[in-house]
Each structure stands twice: as C-alpha cells, then as structure tokens.
Amino acid sequence: MADNLAQTFPAASSERRGAARRRTLRRARVVVNNSYSTFDALVRDVSEGGAQLKLPTAWAVPTEFELPILTPLGTVETVVPCQKKWQSGDHLGAQFVAP
C-alpha cells in the first residue's frame, strides 16, 4: 500500500535521508475517532514509510489515525493507516503502518 503511494510521486534528486522523500502538494484528510471526525491536511512530502503533513491549524492529532489521500478532483485515491511520529505546531510526521 505505501509502495503504491510512494510510486505516485517523482523521486527527489538529492536526498540525505535513508528513504528518499518525494515533494508533493496533495490534499488529504486525517480521520480519527472511529471515522467520526475528519480534518483537512496537505501532504508536503512522502516516502515509502511515511509522510509530512501540513494541517490548517495546530491541534493535537492522536497517535493513530487514517490518512485518505485525495485525487485532484477530491475523490479518495488510497487510505493509509498511520502513526504520529512527531508534531510541531501545524506540521506532522506520519509513519505508515500495516493494517
């Protein structure tokens, strides 16, 4: 699942991380509370193992959440289960986890 997501984005030319990150600007949603609550997000970059998200405002994202990635037309392309690895204000590091 994460492999398919990472293949969607072109590889960055120079990268110092262990897993190459691909810069992107894709709409997504953070889904929490057994799908009762959703929040808009922007995927800033993605790798095989995770993504960096930009939230519209700073709020305390739970440790585990789902991340539906949207197509440019707004339909769901894929849904990735995630764990929050770090958060700094309205920026969040998400690690993809197996369902």
Residue 91 has pLDDT above 50, yes or no: yes
Q: How far is CA 94 from CA 9, 13, 65, 73, 82, in A?
A: 17, 22, 9, 24, 6
- Domain 2-6+22-96 indexed as CATH 3.90.870.10: no
Span 51-74, pLDDT tens digits: 999 999 998 999 999 999 999 999
Span 26-40, pLDDT tens digits: 999 999 998 899 999
- Position 98 scores a pLDDT of 86
**Which tokens in the block code for residue 59?**
């709020």
Token pair 């810069």: residue: 23
- Percentage of the chain lying above the pLDDT 70 cut: 82
Domain layout of the chain by residue ranges: 2-6+22-96
Residue 11 has pLDDT above 70, yes or no: no
Alpha-carbon radius of gyration of the chain? 13
**For the chain, what is the mean pLDDT?**
85
CB 62 within 8 A of CB 68: no
